[in-house]
Every structure is written in structure tokens, then in C-alpha cells.
Chains A and B, each alone.
Chain A
Amino acid sequence: MENKGLSKVDLIFEKVDPKEVLIKAFKMTSDEIIKQMLDSGLKGRGGAGFPTGLKWKYTAAEKEPVKYIVCNADEGEPGTFKDREILDKVSYKVYGGMAIAGKAIGARNGIVYLRGEYRFLLPQLMKELESFHKMISEIGYDFKINYCLGSGAYICGEESALFESVEGGRGEPRNKPPYPTTSGVFGKPTSINNVETLVTTMMIIKHGAAKFTELGTKDSRGSKVFSVSGDTPTPGIFELELGMTVQQFVNEFGDGDTKAVQVGGASGFCVPRKKFQNTIIGFEGVPTGGSMKLFNSSRSMYNVLHNYLDFFAEESCGQCTPCRVGCQQLLKGVEKVKKGEAKSTYLNELIKLADTMKIASKCGLGQSVGNAFRTIVENFREEIIY
């Protein structure tokens, strides 16, 4: 098990001269930029972890004259707030990453989809976008970014639901394939990347892929911005090198009484104390879009699970039956067990239901409800029952 320990990094919020980096990028060919991304091993920072270089390669390979680069700023996963901070502090690097992606895939248009909850940021972001447009036309490059605003729907963070929303419809996920790289927003080839991913691509162009691969592990290259909350004396946003164990994380951020860490938000995994030592935070262990919630022994894991299930029951778009009915039944089910209306063995039936949702749901929402459900129920069974 490769273990890098805990070390703080300053890459995402590092001040750079965007003009210099962009001029460097625009001198490169599409293939050269994509090769840098592939060599860096960068995986998407939104949570799913798809290799960014591959996404760009597939989109670049499409013959359509019109393509899009979409920045997914619909940060809705409970416990995640790093994209807000990134947009607030270094939006010019997000725009820069979009222009680099545009060059790589052959797109002249970018769309930022900002969640409605962050509307207060919009005036500032638009002003910064204006400066960016000015700078990029000074370089003599043709690229334009527009904003689309969400209106309070977690599911719109799912890529195809986001496209539906941009197009003015209900945010209901589409069937895949076709994947966005072939048919994304407005039916055109689209690369959709997370806010942090785009900033990272700009830093890879600046520092080079080789420098980036010095950070992290084989499966999880680079550093990551973590959103730390819950029972911790130091909640906030921290950029850390990937490859630490949960134990090392807890040593730094815990309050001395941490009994569980929920890694990756409501759709992520619950790691109990006895597994802290042997669990790596990253794609080889527990992946995360950045959400890290600490719970100490004063907390009831039933309340945590109930809160998550309530969240999913509300946020399920209702389009496919396994997710629509499954979320409701899981919520009702744990309530029944808690009240003593169902036997504790009923929890095994509910785990089976969560497994069914994983294979039968249309999108990532229904597929990942079982992650938290299984890991909380299996590790804290008595707290759910009594």
C-alpha cells in the first residue's frame, strides 16, 4: 500500500499569470495538450474520477465543427464547498482551463453551469469573465464563455441532466450511450469538467505533467482540494496531496474522538474508526470529490443515515423506478427498524434493495445511494437498530 502521508500543497490557489500560461498552451497542438493531460494521470475532481486526458481525446476525435466545453459548477454534494471557494478566489484559472480545454478539443464556446445557491457570486464572476474575454482577445484567440444558472436541483450535477437544464428542460439524466463526448449539450460533442479539474489542467500546462506526477500515488495523481466539516476544530478548505490514510487525515483534522469519516458526501463511503489505518483517500481506496465529514462519538449514525436518505428521496429526479421508489423505501425501512416495527434482519433486505438500485438505476444518483447505506449499516448496525 503506497502511503504518501499528509502534506499541504498550494497549486489550485497559487497565483499565476494567466496570459503567460495561455500563450504557452496556445502554442501547443491539440495532441500535445492532450498528451500532457494523459501523462499527468489527472482524473476528474468532481467525484467520478474519469481521466481528463481521455475525455478530451474522445471529444477532440469527433468530426463535428461545433463543440462545447462545459464547466460543471453545480457543486451540490453534501459537504462539498471547494468549488465555491475556487470560483470566488481564482475564477480566472477556471476560465483559463476552459480555454485550454477548448484548444485541445476544438471548441470555441464554453458554458459555466453555476448552481443557484451560488447566485450571489455571479456579479463578481461576470466582471472577472469580462477581463478574461479582454485578455484572450488580446492574445488573439477566439473563445467565449457564457453562464447558465441552476435553480436548486442536486441532480443537475449529473452531466446529462445538466445539459437538459442548459437546454431549458427538466434536469432528467439521459440514457448513455451516447456519451457527452459524442453528443452532449445541444447534441454536440462536449467535454464537461469539474471546476477544480479545469484549474488543475491550467497548472499542469504551467508546471508540466512530470512535475504533477511527483505528487500523489499511481492511481491518484496530484493534489486535491478537500472540504472539511463536521466534528473538527478546523473546518474549511485544504489542498492536500493525494495518497494519505484516513488515520493521517483524522490525526490532522479530528477532535480526538472521531468515530467515523464520511468520505465523498452522501453518495460516498463511511469509514469507521477501525478502518482508518488501512484506508487510503483516493481512487485506490475511498474516492472523494472533496467532501470529508467527521463524526465524533456523540453523534448517532442513524441520524446521519436518515439525513442522507431524506436528501436522496427529495433529490431523486423520479424518472427511473429503482431510484424513485428505492430511495423512499430505504428511508421508510430504516425508520421502521428504528421504531421496532420491522425486525433487524430487515436491514439485510434493505441492503439488497440498495444493491439492486446500484445495478438498475439510470444515473449516478441512484447507483451511489447504496455506498453510504451499506457502509453505515454494516459498520454501525446497532446504532441503526437501537
Chain B
Amino acid sequence: MYQVGNLVKELSEKHGRTRESLMPILQGIVEKHNYLTDEAMVEVARELDISAADVYGTASFYTFLDTSVRGKYVIRICKTITCSMKGKAEIIQTLEDMLKIKIGETTSDRQFSLIETNCIGWCHKAPAILINEIPYTELTPEKVVEIIKGYMQKK
């Protein structure tokens, strides 16, 4: 759990306090902290003067605005047809073996989360994943190992 601190205030100053600022503010929190806590959503509600249920209602609609705990690096594996045909299963196996977690889980050190996602627009270079916002394409198990090692060294 993180402390949201002044972030909501800063984001509200930047984007404004009207209803259409809600998405950019929530996206800003997720960009920094990877997911939305109840406290963060209540804080946003207070800042924009709307109900907390309204904030949660909006956030929970969008798959990238996670409301449950996510690691620092959220790995989204495309599960749509072309990626499935071109070796998605091996990519998932490699990631699960390396990180010792299953799809939908987060490592105990809160560094990595593994999630399946719908088409991310890289079918011609399948299989593909997103790590936070960065796409990685034409993956093989070997490539995945290299990429994840790189992220492990970053932490």
C-alpha cells in the first residue's frame, strides 16, 4: 500500500477539477503507483467534489485503471487470436517460471504482475506483451528471459 500524499492535489492542479479531468488524474496515479487504492479514489472524489462511488464506478470500467494491488512492472500478455496462434502459451509459461507466479498474480516483492489482456495491436509481430506502456514484440522464450532479467536488474 502506498501513501498518495500530494499527488492527487498536484494532478488536479495540472488537469483541473472538472469531471473530464477524472481520467487523466486516475491515469496519473496509476502511472506513478501502478494501481488505485480506496484511499486514493476517496481523495480524488474529495478533490473533484464527486462521490467516491462515482470515481470507483469509472475506474472499475477500465482494465488499465486497476483497483487491486499491482507490481511496479505490470506485464500484460496479449491473448487474442494471432498471439495465441503464435506462441502465447510458451511466453506465459516462461514468465510464470521466471517470476514464480501465475497469471493474475503479483510477486511478493511487488515488482511484477502478470495479466492477460485483449488485442494490443501487434498481430503482425505476435506474440506481443506490454510492460507498463512499453510494447515487446515477436517474442520467443529466450527473448522474454532477457527482457525480464533487464527489469530485474533495474529494481
Contacts and interface: CB of A to CB of B under 8 A. Distances in A.
A314 B20 CA distance: 25
Contacts of B133: 119-120
A168 B123 contact: no
A34 B104 CA distance: 50
A117 B80 CA distance: 14
Interface in B119-155: 119-126, 130, 133-135
A227 B124 contact: yes
B21 interface: yes
Nearest to B63: A152
Contacts of A152: 62-65, 117
B64 A77 contact: no
A141 interface: no
Interface stretch (A36-44, A193-201, A229-237, A324-332): A229-237
Nearest to B31: A119
B81 interface: yes
B64 A81 contact: no
A78 B134 CA distance: 19
B49 to A, nearest CB: 13
A228 B125 CA distance: 10
Interface string B60-98: 011111000000000000011110110000000000000
A299 interface: yes
B81 A304 contact: yes
A235 B122 CA distance: 10
Task: Give the size category of B's interface with A.
Answer: 35 or more
Interface stretch (B6-14, B22-30, B105-113): B22-30
Contact of A228 (B79, B118, B124, B126): B124
B123 A293 contact: yes
A171 B57 CA distance: 11
Nearest to A121: B133
B135 A148 contact: no
A121 to B, nearest CB: 9
Contacts of A228: 124
Interface in B37-66: 57-58, 61-65
B50 to A, nearest CB: 9
B32 interface: no
Contact of A229 (B18, B65, B123, B130): B123
B82 A79 contact: yes
A178 to B, nearest CB: 20
A283 interface: no
Contact of B61 (A75, A80, A170, A308): A170
Interface of B: 18-24, 26-27, 57-58, 61-65, 79-82, 84-85, 117-126, 130, 133-135
21 contacts: A76-B119, A76-B121, A77-B119, A79-B80, A115-B121, A148-B23, A149-B24, A151-B23, A151-B27, A151-B65, A153-B62, A154-B118, A168-B58, A227-B124, A229-B126, A231-B85, A237-B124, A303-B84, A307-B84, A315-B118, A317-B61
Given A78-B80, A317-B61, 16 more contacts: A76-B119, A78-B81, A79-B80, A84-B121, A115-B121, A117-B130, A117-B135, A152-B65, A153-B62, A154-B118, A166-B20, A172-B61, A228-B124, A229-B123, A235-B125, A311-B119
